[in-house]
């Protein structure tokens, strides 16, 4: 009688357990520095590179749940964490994301590769997306915090460090000329080794209010060192050539637009392959 009365409850318990485990990693977290190789999305290739002065605009989307898997940098992923995905930046990195529609700003740690679409520049965890006020793919500005990004790398396995293997690992002693006594002025009691993995502290679950920004959608077709190359792409892809102030050698760019909504911008991005352009992306200006 007892088991029969509680059978519905017993059948429900495994479902509760399964839901609770969605955010729990299947294996122990092991945070590490991650750059990785070039990878291919539906619209082309992405080439990860180490960069600490990153600033960009584009469309943000929501991260898909990992369901027990670890993030790309070995962290435990949680839907309630202040984290996100980026296509090329070193992982982990610290960035601020500003919603250009309402001015809200969140601070997140990038821990995963993605989003796969070139039409989306960053993906946010569900909690970060909610705090940012995202209801759908949203125009945003992303700015990297260089100091914080460099600091978070310290102590992570796989992070690039200065090569100190050629430094002396023995000891240097100074000997007094009058008494013959000596003392150690340089030395090490252990050999130089790799840095252990560090436990990364979750970022505060909060947002701040900033200014709204531009909301026009364009497709950036490329940046070029010469006007002729830029003009050729502009003719093929129905774009406009613009001079880039302080372009660091890439003094010309080509963009198309503006587009009235994300559907039009996505369609324009898809058409760039037909006119022979690779690496185009959606920007907000």
Contact 276, 236 (CB under 8 A): yes
Q: What structural domains does the chain harbor? A: 23-158+201-213 (2.40.40.10), 216-285 (3.30.70.1070)
- pLDDT tens per residue, range 164-214: 444 444 454 545 444 554 444 344 333 333 444 446 899 999 999 999 999
The mean predicted confidence, pLDDT, of the chain is: 84
Angstrom CA distances, 141 to 57, 85, 95, 102, stand at 4, 14, 10, 12
- Tokens 């984290």 appear where? 83
- pLDDT tens per residue, range 216-237: 999 999 999 999 999 999 999 9
Q: In a 3-state reduction of DSSP, which class is residue 274? A: coil
The pLDDT score that the predictor gives to residue 184 is: 42
Query: Which pTM does this prediction carry?
Result: 0.79
Angstrom CA distances, 281 to 95, 102, 132, 146, stand at 20, 23, 22, 24
Q: How far apart are CA 39 and CA 206, in angstroms?
A: 32
């Amino acid at each position: 009688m007892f088991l029969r009365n509680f059978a519905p409850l017993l059948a429900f318990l495994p479902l509760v357990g399964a839901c609770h485990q969605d955010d729990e990693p299947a294996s122990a977290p092991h945070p590490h520095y991650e750059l990785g190789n070039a990878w291919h999305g539906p619209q082309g290739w992405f080439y990860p590179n180490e960069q600490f002065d990153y600033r960009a605009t584009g469309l943000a989307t929501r991260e898909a749940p990992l369901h027990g898997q670890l993030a790309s940098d070995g962290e435990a992923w949680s839907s309630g964490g202040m984290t996100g995905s980026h296509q090329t930046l070193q992982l982990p990195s610290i960035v601020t994301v500003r919603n250009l529609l309402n001015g809200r700003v969140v601070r997140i740690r990038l821990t995963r590769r993605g989003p796969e679409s070139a039409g989306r520049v960053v993906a946010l965890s569900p909690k970060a997306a909610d705090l940012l006020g995202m209801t759908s793919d949203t125009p945003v500005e992303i700015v990297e915090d260089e100091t914080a990004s460099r600091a978070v790398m310290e102590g992570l396995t796989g992070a690039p460090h200065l090569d100190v293997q050629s430094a002396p690992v023995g000891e240097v002693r100074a000997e007094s000329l009058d008494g013959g006594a000596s003392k150690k002025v340089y030395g090490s009691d252990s050999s130089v080794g790799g840095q252990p993995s560090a436990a990364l502290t979750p970022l505060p679950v909060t947002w701040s209010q900033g200014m709204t920004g531009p909301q026009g959608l364009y497709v950036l077709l490329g940046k070029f060192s010469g006007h002729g190359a830029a003009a050729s792409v502009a003719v093929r892809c129905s774009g406009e050539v613009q001079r880039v102030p302080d372009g660091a050698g890439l003094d010309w760019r080509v963009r198309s637009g503006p587009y009235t909504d994300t559907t039009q911008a996505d369609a324009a991005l898809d058409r760039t392959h037909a006119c022979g352009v690779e690496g185009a992306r959606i920007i907000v200006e």
